[in-house]
Amino acid sequence: MWLIVLALPAVLFGKTYCVEVERDPYRDPYLGFAVLRTVERAVVESGNSLGCGKGSRMLRVRVVSFREVPIAFTPDQRVSAYSLYLTLRVEAGKETFTLKGTVPYSQPTGGLGDIPRRRAIDDILDKLYLNLLEKLRGGGEDADKRRDR
């Protein structure tokens, strides 16, 4: 019952978006999944709905830049910390905008495993999520640059 109540505003007032994440040129297996999950969450939480039927608007997302820059080294000259840079280009109908972010992360064990990197991807997408949500709601204002009024 509560699901119907929560979905009712999206059906009555929102738009329907068909989300398409263009192929990731960096071939990172987790990045494409995380970007799609974040964009779909922003669409739903902005009062819109997901669907690729007749009358839906295309929402295309492309990873423009994805870089890891070493920022710290261990005594053995192994990289222990990185800055992760991500740039996304979003096309929502006729509107096109770019989302950029940076987040540091460390590999305390000298590079064993993929978990810290995946967490860094989630962290940077959480930062970009607020700006995407604001754009989809129609505010158009950068969430990072808003002032208390």
Is 43 part of any domain? yes
Q: Assess if residue 4 is contained within a domain.
A: no
Domain interval for residue 61: 9-138
Under DSSP, the state recorded for 116 is H
Residue 2 lies in a domain: no
Higher local confidence (pLDDT), 14 or 97: 97
The average pLDDT across 50-59 equals 89
Res 3: pLDDT: 43
Cα distances (angstroms) measured from residue 117 to each of 30, 105, 110: 10, 7, 13
CATH number reported for the structural domain that contains residue 35 in this entry = 3.30.160.150
Residue 27, both tokens: 């071939």
Task: Name the domain count of the chain.
Answer: 1
- Cα atoms in the 13 Å half-sphere on the side-chain side of 16: 9
